[in-house]
Amino acid sequence: IKDSDWIIEVIVEKLDIKQSLFERLEQFRKPGTIISSNTSGIPTHLMAAGRSDDFRKNFLGTHFFNPPRYLRLLEIIPTPETDPELVSFMMHFGETFLGKQTVLCKDTPAFIANRVGVYSMARIFQLTEELGLPISTVDKLTGPAIGRPSTGTFRLADLVGHDTGVKVMQGIQQNCPDDEQAGAFNVPPYMQFLLDNKFLGNKTGQGFYKKGEGKNTKGQTEYLSLNLKTLEYGTDPRVDLPSLSLSKQIEDPEKRINAIYQSPDDGGRLVKAHLLGLFSYVSNRIPEIADGINSIDDALRAGFAWTYGPFE
């Protein structure tokens, strides 16, 4: 690494292991080399503790969203000791040469997109249990129906990886004592079941969903989903919700979201409760995680591929 201009750390989400690596890096890096961390949520200043003045001056967070070839968000997270010129350079370099949507974040746990996005997922987990809806139905309600990717919520959690997701949830809960929604980040029993069995999602081939052995009526591979109450895998029962029908009938996304929001069935209740909670949550995060609403909207659009940011 002695000839490298920029070194990015992308190892396990454990502070002591990251600090140990940075101690080793400092033996070989040349002065002025940029050092950054791709952490999903560990406060940046903690990782640079104990390093030299030159290391801390050239250290910051550069959080690329997964998968980086598809998601445009690059969060730039300086510490109070990061050289302001380096921050300006990284914002420009990320946007101009890497083609990213760079967003300047405050050094708070989980930064912007994960702080809001993980809350959004955790709240939907809660509402799914409260309303007793199958997870495949919830994924349909929280995907393209409301201007979000086809992964919905539970498939997105499988994509992220439950080990990483839970670490971010716990980090927010432990390090944000004044967060009014701290209870939403409790790890539910079914998530603990997945962790205990190492059903970590796509990377282990099993999470909220897993491949079945049969084919569906269209001849496609059948996927089984986890029943959150029984913790058994099976085919979700068909649920006929007017709100789901609306999502297929209305092409205009703004009219569609409004129609689902107003729907009196369980699908509408889930979307309405989720969006109201989200509006409240992001409003309370100014100026804690960002100074302006645009930073939050930009981060969620580019990092979670939402068509509309929360404020928008």
Length of the chain: 312
- From the list 75, 225, 247, 263, the catalytic residue is 75
- From the list 9, 58, 63, 136, the catalytic residue is 63
* Structure tokens belonging to residue 128: 């799914």
Report the distance separating Cα 220 and Cα 74, nearest Å.
Answer: 36
For the question of residue 197 being annotated catalytic, the response is no
- From the list 36, 37, 58, 114, the catalytic residue is 114
Alpha helices in the chain (DSSP H): 15-25, 44-47, 53-57, 84-96, 113-131, 135-141, 154-160, 162-175, 189-196, 242-249, 253-262, 266-284, 293-304
- Given a contact cutoff of 8 angstroms between Cβ atoms, the answer to whether 36 and 83 are in contact is no
For the question of residue 274 being annotated catalytic, the response is no
- DSSP per position, 138-183: HHHHTTGGGT--TTTTHHHHHHH-HHHHHHHHHHHHHH-TT-TTGG
- From the list 40, 136, 247, 263, the catalytic residue is 40
Residue 79 backbone dihedrals phi, psi, to 5 degrees: -100, 170
For the question of residue 63 being annotated catalytic, the response is yes
For the question of residue 75 being annotated catalytic, the response is yes
Instruction: Return the active site residues.
Output: 40, 63, 75, 114
